[in-house]
Structure 1
């Protein structure tokens, strides 16, 4: 009989007893492996041909790849062929499943990382990435860049960004820096932890990058200048260095107004107004802002206090229409589309979180409700939805320079779907098509080719699910269940479901944890809040929201909510 959760918790209370038990258990398991005792599966691995014995239960516990393999018909065979991993690397990773350790070298780390990604060994991925970053002088930063592009490994990408942020001065003087794309530079420059002694250092680096190819980079320059803490420059620097740059006049004007006229600061919409490195005043701390509304009209914003584990009201706003979709853009929430009195709208409005003020933006080309909105490469995408008569496949995107323009449409018309961005691509999943026919289908958009391609179907139909990119995977949650997508393998796997009733759901990645908000509590007319415990594959309840329906939620700096 399986151990119940209450028995597990009781065992965990006596940690020293538990540790002795686990140590004894693992010692015995490793001896079985060394002696090839009780083996129940053998892998035939090519390049060169080798036979690697193992225990199914251990491998299935270590990796969802093996769990899925052994649940498949092929996995019941006593000998399983592996053709896309070198035998030496495969054997090292099988050993890792037993010991949590593997011999990693500069020469094999790329192959180890690739194989760990295929085998879905998250700890081995982390070990490989940590090895690369601690041996970066031997492996070279260029090698790390190349490997990240080849593997699309999110863990490696984040570690490289951390390295670039910490070693910015050295990297900005390298030849590699001159070939950074604008998205990479933006990710580095926005960091509050950028390791510079003065803001002028970041400006000098931008100038060096810009002067390397002025004609091709002139339009991108304002995107980078906007990442600077412009209010930290003096008036003379702003007028002589920032204002003359093409496309940066408005940025300079806002910073000058901020410095010269403190009384009008609440009316100035600036991305950054504080200096870098002020984390002592919690400017780096992030929290959740939840948009709640019973029918969509007149929503209320609730902010979460992590220290007190409670929700409190941040603001209430008046809206006389519903069916809009919201997205966070810098310090603003954009309300896109919707309907009123059964008429679908194109309207786009921006609500500044800091100042609690409204601004109208250019309307969409197509009226939409029940659509998806995401941001990719500083562009806002409105995807699919319903126009009041038909479900839509059309997609349009917005930039401040070009306004709204159509791009290639979806393969399948859909409304009440959800979308998320990961590894510079957009993924749209679920929803309805036609006469309330629920969908399992998923499609992916590549902005470079302007094309949508089909992905593996979800295991369950989901409409208006909560979706989030978290640790290189996509999570989809609804009252129908929960599942996780691996973009490397194009596979879905089910995870522990939330014990909630029907209702809107949202999810976000905060503090390296997956948070789920929404779905009716079975004990009260409130929305549940849960955090996913990945190690034990279960959901842990947090403080419930006092509102019954969560329409969306966003991760924002705590300083943004306490600035007024």
Structure 2
């Protein structure tokens, strides 16, 4: 049994020593497998019948399927029968457990994926999906759709969606496209990465889909048309093509008003006002807005050219413990706490014209909760109202706030982010103390599932998605989550003292903003130098407590 001292010693090894040790260890394990030495289990596999020898310890480490199998009633048998996987595929996946590699072909990829799912080999699942997507010309998109329906593989589903978005023009002319459900088509049309040369291409695709079954699709049509960048059409197109569509009259009129009445734009509620590719989330020239303090907060703007922070505006608000989210040109203040009362209010503050607007209230009053946006929908997660909350609700403009499945672990002062079409709720306090648990929400199945725990307890951390990973930073330390491996690993320590902090990804770099710099004795702003595994201090903030930071187009602020 490993002791805490031996685990500590392993962690203290430098990377080169550890790499040499692991390389030597794995070489020896490979030789045991090749020579069938020290074998302690043999699998009898059908179709055709074959005997596949292996080592229990390694397989149990590679997959929870084998770990549970060996801990079960039949697990001590020297020979174990496997009846639902072909012998050739099974042997390839056993080899994968030793080498991390498997021989995949177009003819075997479906069987490999199915078997990898059964054996709970996540890396083999990813390898199979990656192979399929890079051989789509041979496998065909129709085959990929069929395989996804058979396996219900979420990794494949996400990769297919990315492929559809990138190859939208070709796919929108296929027979499969005509049978897409409305929700799937809506997710594609909302995407700012939809690969089209002009907005009319997306309109034409909607028309083809709608005309295929007009009676059944008339109700969904306005929802899809609302996903278009309507302000990119000219006025004649709006009134000859958009306005005559059932339920789309108001959409056409609103877009017309936006185009023809620039002075009235602050009062017009448009979902999309910019062309695809230059929204706040992916504009090539971006900067940071930092929301400092809670009562009457200051909004600070980062000047990239001069590497300095400057005060942008004061926002008057007389309550605290709310959570904020950026949606288009608006900061949404959701929930909060005022005079011993928890609030369910939702208020929108427009960055361009500095005006307030009230939105529909939440079902549940919340403070110290989490808020995120996913696929155009807002989620309010957990929080506190006299007791710790596990409830979760979702907001859409068409339905308002609706309850969805609750968290497994109620939590407040937690953090949450979205990645790969899912929501991750991380850490926080469950009323008894701070927790390390992490949960992942799948909006398609409306379910929360447990993920690997964070390695440390974090108090008031910052969280951000950067280069496909989730980063959590606090004065307790810094760590990174790999969604493919479902593992957390510590990264170089960020020395900050007490104070609210946050983090964002800007210009392909991870920024940690807020808290107190111990070395400089002033509010901290640091950028992660990944190559040298260290943090580099940047121009300090004029304030320590940063409630939230937002990456926005510089044009949004320069046009004020």
Distance 1:530 1:93, change over 3 A: farther
CA RMSD of aligned residues (A): 5.0
Distance 1:479 1:108, change over 3 A: farther
Structure 2: runs of 5+ lacking an equivalent: 1-8, 72-77
Distance 1:217 1:551, change over 3 A: farther
> Which residue of structure 1 lines up, in the alignment, with residue 384 of structure 2?
386
Distance 1:431 1:40, change over 3 A: farther
> Which residue of structure 2 lines up, in the alignment, with residue 494 of structure 1?
489
The counterpart of 1:89, out of the listed 84, 87, 92, is 92
Q: Deviations over 1:318-362 (max 9, x none)?
A: 133221101232332211112234443322111234554432212
Mapped contact 1:527–1:549 kept (Cα < 8 A): no
The answer to whether the aligner puts 1:298 opposite 2:268 as a matched pair is no
Cα shift at 1:136: 0.9
Task: Judge which range, 251-260 or 510-519, deviates more.
Answer: 510-519
> Which residue of structure 2 lines up, in the alignment, with residue 344 of structure 1?
342
> Which residue of structure 1 lines up, in the alignment, with residue 5 of structure 2?
none
Alignment of 1:251-400 (within 5 A): 251-265=251-265, 267-276=267-276, 284-285=283-284, 287=286, 289-295=288-294, 297-303=296-302, 305=304, 310=307, 312-313=309-310, 315-320=312-317, 321-387=319-385, 389-400=386-397
Alignment of 1:341-490 (within 5 A): 341-387=339-385, 389-422=386-419, 424-434=421-431, 437-445=433-441, 447=443, 457-468=453-464, 474-483=470-479
Q: Deviations over 1:183-223 (max 9, x none)?
A: 54344334555444442221111122234445554454333
Distance 1:119 1:301, change over 3 A: farther
Partner Cα separation in structure 1 for residue 501 and residue 396 of structure 2:
29
Cα shift at 1:171: 0.7
Cα shift at 1:406: 4.0
Partner Cα separation in structure 2 for residue 112 and residue 513 of structure 1:
37
Distance 1:224 1:284, change over 3 A: farther
Cα shift at 1:410: 4.0
Cα shift at 1:370: 0.8
> Which residue of structure 2 lines up, in the alignment, with residue 106 of structure 1?
106
Could you state the TM-score of these two structures normalised by the residue count of structure 1? 0.73
Partner Cα separation in structure 1 for residue 552 and residue 309 of structure 2:
15
Partner Cα separation in structure 2 for residue 443 and residue 470 of structure 1:
19
> Which residue of structure 1 lines up, in the alignment, with residue 538 of structure 2?
543
Partner Cα separation in structure 2 for residue 181 and residue 362 of structure 1:
28
Partner Cα separation in structure 2 for residue 454 and residue 7 of structure 1:
30
Distance 1:374 1:162, change over 3 A: closer
| 3-state SS, counterpart of residue 526 of structure 1 | strand
The counterpart of 2:517, out of the listed 516, 521, 532, is 521
Partner Cα separation in structure 2 for residue 7 and residue 442 of structure 1:
28
> Which residue of structure 2 lines up, in the alignment, with residue 14 of structure 1?
none
Q: Deviations over 1:446-494 (max 9, x none)?
A: 55665656556544433443344567665444333445556677x5533
Partner Cα separation in structure 1 for residue 468 and residue 454 of structure 2:
17
Mapped contact 1:505–1:550 kept (Cα < 8 A): yes
> Which residue of structure 1 lines up, in the alignment, with residue 208 of structure 2?
208
Partner Cα separation in structure 2 for residue 253 and residue 102 of structure 1:
57
Mapped contact 1:290–1:550 kept (Cα < 8 A): no
Could you state the TM-score of these two structures normalised by the residue count of structure 2? 0.74
Partner Cα separation in structure 2 for residue 256 and residue 162 of structure 1:
32
Partner Cα separation in structure 2 for residue 44 and residue 513 of structure 1:
48
Cα shift at 1:415: 1.9
Mapped contact 1:393–1:414 kept (Cα < 8 A): yes
Task: Judge which range, 440-449 or 176-185, deviates more.
Answer: 440-449
Partner Cα separation in structure 2 for residue 354 and residue 43 of structure 1:
69
| 3-state SS, counterpart of residue 245 of structure 2 | coil
Mapped contact 2:526–2:536 kept (Cα < 8 A): yes
Partner Cα separation in structure 1 for residue 421 and residue 215 of structure 2:
25
| 3-state SS, counterpart of residue 437 of structure 1 | coil
| 3-state SS, counterpart of residue 438 of structure 1 | coil
Partner Cα separation in structure 1 for residue 554 and residue 129 of structure 2:
30
| 3-state SS, counterpart of residue 382 of structure 1 | strand
Mapped contact 1:222–1:247 kept (Cα < 8 A): yes
Distance 1:82 1:160, change over 3 A: farther
